[in-house]
Structure 1
Amino acid sequence: MKQLKFTDFVFFLFFFTESLTLPTKPQDVDDSGITQKFIEENIEYITIIAFAQYVQEATFEDVEILVKDMVEYKDRCVANKTLPECFKLPNNALQEKIFAMEGLPQKHNLSHCCSKVDFERRSCFFFNKKADVAFLPPFPTLDPEEKCQAFKNSRKSFLNRYVYEVARRNPFVFAPTLLSVAARFEEVAGACCEEQHKATCFQTRAAPVIQYLKAFSSYQKNVCGAYLKFGTKVLNFINIAVLSQKFPKIEFKELTSLIEDVSSKYDGCCEGDVVQCVRDTSKVMNHICSKQGSISSKIQECCEKKIPERGECIINSNKDDRPEDLREAKFTDSETLCQERDTDPDNFFAEFTYEYSRNHPDLSTPELLRIAHVYKDVLSNCCNTQNPPGCYRRAKDKFNETTEKSHKIVQRECEHFQLWGKDGVKYYYLIRLTKTAPQLSTEELISLGEKMAMALATCCTLSEEFACVDNLVDLVLGELCGINENRTINPAVDHCCKTNFAFRRHCFEGLKADETYVPPTTTKDLFTFNADLCQAQNEELQRKKDRVLVDLARRRELAEEELRAWLAGLAERCCSAGEPALWGGSQNWQLKPDCLRNIKEKASKLSGPDRRETPESLNVDRKKRGNCSGFGVHSPQ
């Protein structure tokens, strides 16, 4: 997949949700018959995605039963559209067939949804989805040769199972995105199964597909969370900021028309209505290309392409040139701003966001929303004074103060990354997140910490450092807050997640450890390391260290610096070089027996009756401990 500019990152996530197998002629995109044909031809994938996302615990055998039923249903309705059952909305028909599966609603706690209808039923299915998928078994892995044999034996069966496994672990990803992932993975499997070094090929070529899925999952959950918690108004402002930066020449009237199509698609996509999501996404792309003359001068060649290539081409196109008639000044210099605001407040602030966004391509989407919020407060105050124009002419100072504060947050984060590196900064955020939200599962905290580290590793060397970091970190906070408006973590975190979407990043910066949390009892098993401790590249070892760090951070016995230092230097203190390795000339690393014993002694202290030791008492004497210095303090390098 072509490498995207990070200045286009949010736009990339926002728009590229078209299936690779949608209709191929640009003029046919708005033909409902073409879209309907696509749905009928892809009924198996659509059924698998919807079922696996709604009932993540369902087995693949359950899915196969429902797929067969839905295919038969489709065939009956294609043959005779006048049958009463064929007048149902596709999503309703699918949900009813799930209820009809013997024993399944009872087994998977869906019985209470069966008696509901319309919006209440859709909400019931939605709230059954679980973002934390730690309850599922690990993603099944096959030897490359076995994988290729299964692929060659039955490409259809192989891909169906792949879609099932991906969909149940990504319950909030839009169906068109999952269809694109499946198409990309099919290309990867087809190419790699012809290669001699299959494992290397899969590793290299599957990585962009995985990143594509992760990026979309993060963005779609973030935007749907904003939509479900704060409503259409916040969703519209997100879309205005994104589109105004990408298409700065678009007229405000045309933008508002496009926003209607873009925002309306989130009803179906966020609820998990697979069919409606596909239809609405196609409608958005058609709108852009049908009005390209008034939207962008950079997409003409893109709109002449077939749809699979067209969507990606538009996303990779450069931002349009900024026009000369930018009218940002009118929102601070006009004498009649208070009257204009009062005539139509929503439209007035939407136009301000449009003008400010297209005039500031260097700012992140969250920062543009913060500025819009600040401007609303400025006018609210100024329009109640004796001299409103004299008051709101100083609004730019408020804008600059807000942006400067956001810049300082990003600068501090990138300084941490430069000082500690990717691993060190991951430990830092693992500890901070755990102390702030200890109620989250260990796996979820590890995932969030890794994503924070990845955001900084990706962005902190770029010229667009601020916008890149602020956009990506906001996505991580969106995952923490969750898509479900009823999600509760603790009062402080809930306040940041639910009070103000634009300023939640600033809110999280001020959070301290949750002192009301009662940590679980420490067990000695927590510190059980085997000889594989010294295999520094072992991924499972890294996972073990991450889990230990989270569990220690929950207990609050140690300061952040001590926790980071202990994990960063664990292998260094506990491993010694043995005989030269037989392969490659490097060293065999051996575990120091005394180190494991000292770790277990530390576990005994933490799991004993007096667990709340001071950091000083945990800082053992290096001479007594040898090279295994317990929880000694040093900066992770």
Structure 2
Amino acid sequence: MKQLKLIGFVIFLFFLTESLNLPTKPQDVDFSTTQKFIEENVGHITTIAFAQYIQEASFEEAEMLAKAMTEYKDQCLANSTLSQCLKLPQDVLLETICAMEGLPQKHNFSHCCSKVNDERRRCFFRNKKGDVGFLPPLPTLDPEVKCQAYKNNSESFLSNYIYEVSRRNPFVFAPTLLRVTDLIEEMTKTCCEEQDKANCFRIKAETVVRYLKGLSSYQKNVCGAYVKFGQQVLNSIYIVILSNKFPRIEFKELISLLQDVSSKYDVCCEGDAVQCVHGRSKVMSHICSKQDSISNNIKKCCEKKIPERGECIINSNKDDRPNDLSLKESKFTENEHLCEERKADQDIFMAKFLYEYSRRHPELSTPQLLRIASVYDDLLKECCNTENPPDCYRNAESKFNETTEKSLQIVQQECERFQRLGEGDLKYHYLIKFTKMAPQLSTDEVTFLGEEMVTALTTCCTLSEEFACVDNLVDLVVGEICGVNENRTINPAVDHCCNASFAFRRPCFEALGADKTYVPPSTSQGLFTFHTDLCQAHNEELQRKKDRFLVNLVKLKPELTDEALLSLLTDFTNLVDKCCKAEGPQACFNEQVPELVAKSQVS
């Protein structure tokens, strides 16, 4: 929040009037456009923030808050000198939430309302729950009902959607959720004109879900790095990303852009929806104002409107490495004065190394480039304390190659496993692995992680850029395990991997076995209680039940081998198939289940 205090509240007032002085930096020339966008989307922005902070709250309560904030906007547009208009928007929002009669007590956040300023904001942030298993399944409506609801009141229809999506994705940034709202509206308009509405909604919804999942994982991963490791790691991540994506960018321009990116992330990660929209717009305006020196490939993106412009730039392809850029930068391995340069300003020195190495190696993943930087930093710490530092660090390149080779081997093993097992058995492999490694995670969390691993490998293992793709996506799965909040704890081994080193989390997890501190439940907790509803389950739903059965079986019997667990899963599948074909399915279950229980006890 330091950036907000430095800049001052005037620039970031929720609703600036045209008469106020606007920033004059080139990247801020469309500040008023951003402001207009915020004014037009006050209801949705309020709903996002409220649903992410108070996930248990009802849609009606979200609507009440959105109405209150809209009235506040209208008051401030009419008279910006009112005392309530001189507060930061996030403070006004949280004050309004705390003032809603009975709400803090009803949803157990009174302790946050007793705090003020930064402490209150951080308290609301820590109140967010990444595991949303306590929420009911996302409501599904008949396509005709959807279309009629949209036709009757499109604003209420979209608000309800954004409320449901936001409370299930508490760490996704507001601009992304606003873009999801646009995609949902586009989908609804298109599908409601189709004859086969159900199929249209199904196909288009899959695209929206993939889009949301991908950005959710990425944003949680970066915010987890920021919260757990601080600003320096966040800066390193973005030096790599920006240098890798825009290899023509000059170092001075990169640092200038990095300042805008860094000032955006604290507010976005903590859920300050308004400032996050402003921050995203500022970064994208900066990039678009310097296209000649940053990238030739984003012209079409820069012509788009908020928030589509930002998503377009983020998803644009990497620029080609400039022809005059050598593969090696000798000044970091053959310079006799490296130790003096490093000592003069260690942060800038390492930033320059990351910049030069990242723009030269588009084939490497973000985590791998961070690992190389970590290896280099450790090497210089050692070498600069020797009698002849140049002789010591001259072999740095071989150290980098060794680190990359280790990571490459892990990726190759994963892709070979994918080719050998196929999607179904691959998922079972990871469900067993993750459950044994972190049995404290909920069943829903583990099944999600298994699905994400399969998605990563099926997406990447047939691509030419296999290594970077796999390493980047699997690192996001690791980020899901570690979570965003700094106080998240799972078990000692997992916690160590999450907190020891951001760059080396993945290799650390790769080496983990079963959690030795875990004590399984003394009873089966209904695992072997089967009902006829299993027979009504369609293919996808039945598969989910099989996945859940396997995860809960591992939690109950973590000592069993993978082969024994998979054998019991096969027995479960055969039992369901047999009993659902019988004249009396429930009687069949009652008769056959004891045999399955007995086998689980001797396996």
TM-score, normalized by length of structure 1? 0.86
Residue 230 of structure 2 aligns with which residue?
231
Residue 563 of structure 1 aligns with which residue?
565
Q: Would you say the 8 A contact 1:28–1:34 is kept in 2?
A: no
Residue 472 of structure 1 aligns with which residue?
473
> Would the alpha carbon gap of residues 108 and 192 (structure 1) be closer, same or farther in structure 2, given more than 3 Å must change?
same
1:206-605 matches, within 5 Å, as 206-307=205-306, 310-315=309-314, 317-323=316-322, 324-326=324-326, 328-523=329-524, 525-530=526-531, 538-554=539-555, 555-568=557-570, 570-571=572-573, 575=577, 597-603=591-597
Q: Give 1:193 deviation, angstroms.
A: 0.6
Q: Give 1:538 deviation, angstroms.
A: 2.2
Hey, what's the Cα distance between the residues in 1 that align with 2:580 and 2:476? 45
Residue 10 of structure 1 aligns with which residue?
none
Hey, what's the Cα distance between the residues in 2 that align with 1:244 and 1:234? 15
Hey, what's the Cα distance between the residues in 2 that align with 1:347 and 1:139? 47
Hey, what's the Cα distance between the residues in 2 that align with 1:34 and 1:172? 26
Q: Give 1:164 deviation, angstroms.
A: 0.5
Q: Give 1:569 deviation, angstroms.
A: 6.3
Deviations 1:359-399 (A, max 9, x none): 11111100000000000011111111222111111111111
Residue 6 of structure 2 aligns with which residue?
none
Q: Give 1:454 deviation, angstroms.
A: 1.2
Hey, what's the Cα distance between the residues in 2 that align with 1:574 and 1:290? 62
> Would the alpha carbon gap of residues 130 and 578 (structure 1) be closer, same or farther in structure 2, given more than 3 Å must change?
closer
Hey, what's the Cα distance between the residues in 2 that align with 1:305 and 1:484? 34
Q: Would you say the 8 A contact 1:54–1:126 is kept in 2?
A: yes
AA matched with 1:477:
V
Deviations 1:446-498 (A, max 9, x none): 11111111111111111111111111110011011000001011111100001
Hey, what's the Cα distance between the residues in 1 that align with 2:102 and 2:348? 51
Deviations 1:10-61 (A, max 9, x none): xxxxxxxxxxxxxxxx999634333222222111001111110110000111
Q: Give 1:71 deviation, angstroms.
A: 1.4
AA matched with 2:540:
E
Hey, what's the Cα distance between the residues in 1 that align with 2:512 and 2:27? 52
> Would the alpha carbon gap of residues 493 and 465 (structure 1) be closer, same or farther in structure 2, given more than 3 Å must change?
same
Residue 174 of structure 1 aligns with which residue?
173
Q: Would you say the 8 A contact 1:536–1:571 is kept in 2?
A: no
Q: Would you say the 8 A contact 2:531–2:586 is kept in 1?
A: no
Hey, what's the Cα distance between the residues in 2 that align with 1:291 and 1:578? 65
Hey, what's the Cα distance between the residues in 2 that align with 1:112 and 1:98? 13
Hey, what's the Cα distance between the residues in 2 that align with 1:578 and 1:178? 42
Residue 43 of structure 1 aligns with which residue?
42
> Would the alpha carbon gap of residues 530 and 538 (structure 1) be closer, same or farther in structure 2, given more than 3 Å must change?
farther
- Using the TM superposition, name which of 341-350 and 380-389 deviates more: 380-389
Q: Give 1:590 deviation, angstroms.
A: 11
Hey, what's the Cα distance between the residues in 2 that align with 1:62 and 1:303? 37
Hey, what's the Cα distance between the residues in 1 that align with 2:516 and 2:439? 10
CA RMSD of aligned residues (A): 2.4
Classify the secondary structure of the residue corresponding to 1:355. Answer: helix
Residue 71 of structure 1 aligns with which residue?
70
Hey, what's the Cα distance between the residues in 1 that align with 2:26 and 2:187? 30
Q: Give 1:575 deviation, angstroms.
A: 3.6
> Would the alpha carbon gap of residues 85 and 219 (structure 1) be closer, same or farther in structure 2, given more than 3 Å must change?
same
Q: Would you say the 8 A contact 1:413–1:456 is kept in 2?
A: yes
Q: Would you say the 8 A contact 2:158–2:181 is kept in 1?
A: yes
Hey, what's the Cα distance between the residues in 2 that align with 1:534 and 1:413? 35
Hey, what's the Cα distance between the residues in 1 that align with 2:83 and 2:317? 50
Q: Give 1:562 deviation, angstroms.
A: 2.0
Q: Give 1:572 deviation, angstroms.
A: 5.0
Residue 109 of structure 1 aligns with which residue?
108
1:84-95 matches, within 5 Å, as 84-95=83-94
Deviations 1:518-555 (A, max 9, x none): 11133373123456757895222222211221111112
1:122-137 matches, within 5 Å, as 122-137=121-136
> Would the alpha carbon gap of residues 289 and 602 (structure 1) be closer, same or farther in structure 2, given more than 3 Å must change?
same
Identity over aligned pairs, percent:
65
> Would the alpha carbon gap of residues 211 and 317 (structure 1) be closer, same or farther in structure 2, given more than 3 Å must change?
closer
> Would the alpha carbon gap of residues 166 and 469 (structure 1) be closer, same or farther in structure 2, given more than 3 Å must change?
same
Deviations 1:222-257 (A, max 9, x none): 000000000011001110111111111111111111
Q: Would you say the 8 A contact 2:475–2:506 is kept in 1?
A: yes
Question: Structure 1: where are the runs of 5+ without partners?
Answer: 1-25, 580-587, 607-612, 619-637
Residue 199 of structure 2 aligns with which residue?
200
> Would the alpha carbon gap of residues 590 and 414 (structure 1) be closer, same or farther in structure 2, given more than 3 Å must change?
farther
> Would the alpha carbon gap of residues 28 and 230 (structure 1) be closer, same or farther in structure 2, given more than 3 Å must change?
closer
Hey, what's the Cα distance between the residues in 1 that align with 2:503 and 2:329? 21
Q: Would you say the 8 A contact 2:571–2:596 is kept in 1?
A: no
> Would the alpha carbon gap of residues 569 and 410 (structure 1) be closer, same or farther in structure 2, given more than 3 Å must change?
farther
Hey, what's the Cα distance between the residues in 1 that align with 2:364 and 2:182? 34
Hey, what's the Cα distance between the residues in 2 that align with 1:499 and 1:181? 35
Classify the secondary structure of the residue corresponding to 2:527. Answer: helix
Q: Would you say the 8 A contact 1:533–1:571 is kept in 2?
A: no
Hey, what's the Cα distance between the residues in 2 that align with 1:400 and 1:175? 40
Deviations 1:174-196 (A, max 9, x none): 00100000000000001101111
- Using the TM superposition, name which of 118-127 and 296-305 deviates more: 296-305
> Would the alpha carbon gap of residues 315 and 578 (structure 1) be closer, same or farther in structure 2, given more than 3 Å must change?
closer
Q: Give 1:328 deviation, angstroms.
A: 1.7
Residue 143 of structure 1 aligns with which residue?
142
Hey, what's the Cα distance between the residues in 1 that align with 2:76 and 2:243? 43
Q: Would you say the 8 A contact 1:534–1:590 is kept in 2?
A: no
> Would the alpha carbon gap of residues 115 and 305 (structure 1) be closer, same or farther in structure 2, given more than 3 Å must change?
closer
TM-score, normalized by length of structure 2? 0.91
Classify the secondary structure of the residue corresponding to 1:526. Answer: coil
AA matched with 1:407:
L
AA matched with 2:594:
K
Q: Would you say the 8 A contact 2:260–2:279 is kept in 1?
A: yes
Classify the secondary structure of the residue corresponding to 1:333. Answer: coil
Q: Would you say the 8 A contact 1:425–1:453 is kept in 2?
A: yes
**Count of matched residue positions in the alignment of Structure 1 and Structure 2:** 576
AA matched with 2:325:
D
Q: Would you say the 8 A contact 1:433–1:445 is kept in 2?
A: yes
Deviations 1:56-111 (A, max 9, x none): 00011111111221111111111111111111111110100111111110111111
AA matched with 1:487:
R
Q: Give 1:314 deviation, angstroms.
A: 3.4
